[in-house]
Amino acid sequence: MKNIAVVFGGFSSEYEVSVKSGKFIYENLKDNRSLNVYQICISKESNYVIYDNNKYDLNYMDFSFSINGKIINLDGIFNIIHGEPGENGELADILEKNNIPQTGCNSFVSNLTFDKKRYIDFVNKLDIPSSKHILLTNENQHNLTKIISDISIPCIVKPNNGGSSIGVSKVNNIDDLEDKIKIAFKESNQVLIEDFLDGQEVSVGVLETKGERIILPITEIISENELFDYGAKYLGQSKEITPGNISNEEKSLIHDYINKIYDNIELRGFTRSEFIIVDGIPHILETNTIPGFTKQSIIPQQIEAFGLSVKEVINNQIKSIL
């Protein structure tokens, strides 16, 4: 039997979401008779393994641990940490150095996509549209006059590194801009400010396993809030329609953009990319390489809409790396 672990938690404000995603993944793997399935929780305070309702210390530098005096070495990892250290390449780097395969992207690709500014600059070179944006790198040294000369109001202020829309705000009034920048800096040491795109928001998941690419049905997002924020994503404050009400031309453009991205960087596992459609043209917002995977999350909805079993997809992800 192979020893695998579902790794969740992390160092960011997405910790609780990641724990929920990890539990969901574990529930879908635990009955696989070809696997010994462990749970690993990573946090700022401690790193530990859960097995048979007991906790064991984890060696974070090589991901080994001991149970009843026996050293357990892992054959593979299902990485479901949203944010640091799972989504920014740090965990992938540790696993690569120890020759432990993981689901998802390698350390280079993870680091690229996690940095929203670098990633958007990359996709722009592929002729994929996005909003106009500027990057702030110092909380105490930025010029509001310069910002509003480059970016129009309303605008979006967000952490440059992060997810689950934590720290993301829409600014409708210039007087609120400074406060929203401070909120975003609490989540990241860099802040991205973007022109607000007034259009239809959609989300598209992709499965990539051993060279097979499946673009899942596109979800239309209708948020009760001004943005598809944390409340909309996890507290039921949105309506998600899969497949979404978009034209064949818009769907074709999104598929073309996704294929361009995948053809140019080694995205693996399952990803979710967000777009705003303005006047028939999709504009990319970001690509999440470890998107939420709870019962309420978009990716499981899209998998089922495509006609696949969520449990089978999860088990195939692990099978593909062993």
CATH code: domain of residue 178:
3.30.1490.20
**Given a cut of 90, is residue 98 above it in pLDDT?**
yes
Indicate the residue among 150, 169, 195 that finishes a domain.
195
- The reply to whether 125 and 254 lie within a common domain is yes
Do 313 and 167 share a structural domain? no
CB-hemisphere CA count at 13 Å for 298? 31
CA distance 132 to 151: 7
For residues 121 and 237, state if they share a domain: yes
**Pair (258, 158) in one structural domain:** no
pLDDT at residue 317 tops 50: yes
Q: What is the CATH number of the domain that holds 15?
A: 3.40.50.20
Of 10-14, 125-129, 206-210, 268-272, which range is least confident? 206-210
pLDDT tens profile 204-262: 999 987 678 999 999 999 876 565 445 445 455 678 999 999 999 999 999 999 999 99
* Residue 229 confidence (pLDDT): 47
**Do 115 and 225 reside in the same domain of the chain?**
yes
- CATH number of the domain enclosing 222: 3.30.470.20
Number of folded domains that form the chain: 3
Each residue of 31-73: pLDDT tens digit?
Answer: 999 999 999 999 999 999 999 999 999 999 999 999 999 999 9
Residue 212 exposed, middle or buried by CB count within 10 Å (0-12, 13-18, 19+): exposed
* Together in a domain, 228 and 117: yes
Q: Are residues 230 and 191 in the same domain?
A: no
Alpha carbon of 40 to those of 12, 51, 54, 56, 75: distances in Å? 16, 9, 12, 9, 14
Choose one of 159, 179, 195: the last residue of a domain: 195
For residues 65 and 50, membership in a common domain is answered with: yes
Q: Do 81 and 167 lie in a common domain?
A: no
pLDDT mean across residues, the chain: 90
188 and 143 within one domain: yes
Whether 155 and 79 share a structural domain? no
Identify whether the C-beta of residue 161 lies closer than 8 Å to the C-beta of residue 190. Answer: yes
Question: What DSSP designation does 107 have?
Answer: H
- What is the H or E stretch that residue 202 is in? strand 200-209
Residue 141 is predicted with a pLDDT of: 66
Q: What is the pLDDT of residue 164?
A: 54
Rounded Cα gap, residues 220 and 223, in angstroms: 10
What is the reported pLDDT for 34? Answer: 96
**pLDDT at residue 182 in the model:** 87
**Co-location of 249 and 116 in the same domain:** yes
Q: Can you give the residue range of the structural domain that contains 189? A: 133-195
- pLDDT at site 16: 92
pLDDT in tens, 158-192: 988 865 567 888 888 888 888 888 888 888 888 99
Check whether 135 has a pLDDT greater than 50: yes
